[in-house]
Amino acid sequence: MHGRTRAALGGTAAVAAIALGLAGCSAGAPSGGSTGTEAPAAGVTYMNMATGECAAPPAEGVDFAGAQAYLDSFSQPVTSLLTNEKLPNPISPDTLVVYLDNASPYSAILSQFIGEAATAAGAQYQSVNVGADAQSINSGMNSVVALDPDIVITFATDLTFWQDQFKTLTDNGAAIVYAGNANATDFGLNETFGTADASVVNGNIIAAAAIVATCGTATNFVYYPAPEIVASVDMLASYKDFINSHVPNATVRSMDISILDTDGASKIVSDLQAHPETEFCSPSSDQWQIGLADKAALAGITNAYCFGGISLPQNYQQIKDGTQVGTLAYDPVVQSWQAMDEGFRKLQGVFKDYDMDALIRLVALAVTQQNIDRVDIATGAFDALPGFRDMYLKLWNAAS
């Protein structure tokens, strides 16, 4: 091993991660024009997303204030990290951090910034391509074991396929930062980005957005999960629970749309045509929202108001243009540095389980026309916490 502190790995054994299928909540305006306070469905008032104003009060019994306060807590800039406690010891220069790269474009982004964080702290860093299928993962993880790492970070590689290597790594004292899978606790690992508890928070956020965007006047909602993404499916339960606890007598239904579907917008339009009583929709993938406003107008429907997830540059442009209600954006840079912080704390035996709402607030931003200027339209990037690098380095005893 490499300068390893052989302490307990802190709290529940090892994990951190990132929400791969959780980012983004978007909504399309059915007219192709403004997302104003028109009421295309009888009795429903839609918020003017540019001003945050409603032309009508919420329905009796609806906890609109509670939903709005919750959503607003993800709309404001954060000003500090989750802790101000320094690591007990500086990072040893022979500490080896290994990242499990599944070869996806997003994984490459995370690899870059985790490597940046590791080397800035004074550690060694290596990214290992472990692929995405069971055979590739097994082979790749054998290579990881041979490296004898101190910290292993993954944002998507399902532990189901590398249980033997996991045992060897943890027996050798490696800290594991595990992301993007709902089965973390099955292996004694903590909840973090992309795990089951993170899905609860993300479901709550998009449910709050549905209530707020309809000014507390809607009672009929639909959620569109992507069946291939576990986190997307898991969000349905918390989405329902949040709406039912804030909107008396609400009706919530769901319909699957494949993440591979190249024309999800048409699927949404067809579903809303078949269910004209639906007043708001929450897709789990923003790619289905691209061009939704125009398709809805062409079909003559007026209930295609939606707020979902996983945004693309086109979605941010639609938000700026006023043809999409908003989105929940994630900052992969701060996510990466926080995952690295988790790894260091586990290695030194001082990691503490997360408050999941606080963890998501650290890296997420509920974006509307009111704060779209914080986002780089071309990339979807935003600065979740200005000055975060210096803050982390100070905690890691690595500040210059």
Q: Domains of the chain by range and CATH?
A: 64-78+197-330 (3.40.50.2300), 96-195+331-356+369-395 (3.40.50.2300)
Say what the pTM is: 0.85
* pLDDT at residue number 1: 60
Q: What number is the average pLDDT over the span 375-391?
A: 90
Phi and psi dihedrals of 242, rounded to 5?
-65, -45
Neighbours of 69 (CB within 10 A): 12
Q: What number is the average pLDDT over the span 39-44?
A: 63
Integer CA distances (angstroms), 352 to 9, 15, 75, 186, 210, in order:
10, 11, 26, 19, 33
Tell which residue, 189, 192, 152, 126, has the closest CA to residue 4: 152
How far, in Å, CA of 147 to CA of 94, rounded? 12
Q: Roughly how many angstroms between the first and final C-alpha of the chain, as a whole number? A: 27
Per-residue pLDDT reduced to its tens digit, 386-395: 999 999 999 9
* pLDDT at residue number 26: 39
Block residue for tokens 């306060």? 69
Per-residue pLDDT reduced to its tens digit, 200-254: 999 999 999 999 999 999 999 999 999 888 888 889 999 999 999 999 999 999 9
pLDDT mean across residues, the chain: 88
How far, in Å, CA of 72 to CA of 362, rounded? 14
Question: Does the pLDDT of residue 42 top 80, yes or no?
Answer: no
Per-residue pLDDT reduced to its tens digit, 338-356: 999 999 999 999 999 999 9
Question: Does the pLDDT of residue 365 top 70, yes or no?
Answer: yes
* pLDDT at residue number 10: 30
Block residue for tokens 């997307």? 232
* pLDDT at residue number 400: 58
Q: Report how far Cα 14 is from the mean position of its chain's Cα atoms.
A: 20
- Residue 261 vs residue 80, higher pLDDT: 80
Q: At what angle do helices 105-120 and 332-347 cross, to 10 degrees?
A: 50
* pLDDT at residue number 168: 98
Lowest-pLDDT choice from 106-120, 200-214, 299-313: 299-313
- Residue 166 vs residue 19, higher pLDDT: 166
- Residue 99 vs residue 12, higher pLDDT: 99
* pLDDT at residue number 18: 30
Band the pLDDT of 111: cuts 50, 70, 90: very high
Band the pLDDT of 107: cuts 50, 70, 90: confident
Lowest-pLDDT choice from 144-148, 149-153, 178-182: 178-182
Give the rounded percent of residues in the chain with a pLDDT score beyond 90.
72
Q: What number is the average pLDDT over the span 161-178?
A: 98
Within 8 A by CB and 6+ apart from 272, the residues are 222, 278, 281, 296, 301, 303, 304
Per-residue pLDDT reduced to its tens digit, 61-79: 999 999 999 999 999 889 9
User: With helix as H, strand as E and coil as C, how does the chain read?
Assistant: CCCCCCCCCCCCCCCCCCCCCCCCCCCECCCCCCCCCCCCCCCCCCCECCCCECCCCCCCCCCHHHHHHHHHCCCCCCCCCCCCCCCCCCCCCCCEEEEEECCCHHHHHHHHHHHHHHHHCCCEEEEEECCCCHHHHHHHHHHHHHHCCCEEEECCCCHHHCHHHHHHHHHCCCEEEECCCCCHHHHCCCCCCCCHHHHHHHHHHHHHHHHHHCCCCCCEEEEECCCCCHHHHHHHHHHHHHHHHHCCCCEEEECCCCCCCCCHHHHHHHHHHHCCCCCEEEECCHHHHCCHHHHHHHHCCCCCCECCCCCCHHHHHHHHHCCECCEEEECHHHHHHHHHHHHHHHHCCCCCCCCHHHHHHHHEEEECCCCHHHECCCCCCECCCCCHHHHHHHHCCCCC
* pLDDT at residue number 329: 85
Q: Report how far Cα 32 is from the mean position of its chain's Cα atoms.
A: 27
Strand partners, 328: 366
Pull the structure tokens for residue 141: 């993880």
Question: Does the pLDDT of residue 30 top 80, yes or no?
Answer: no
Question: Does the pLDDT of residue 20 top 90, yes or no?
Answer: no
* pLDDT at residue number 104: 80
Under a CB-based contact definition with an 8 Å cutoff, are residues 328 and 364 in contact? yes
Band the pLDDT of 14: cuts 50, 70, 90: very low
CA atoms within 13 A on the CB side of 28: 31
Pull the structure tokens for residue 169: 């790594």
* pLDDT at residue number 150: 98
* pLDDT at residue number 41: 52
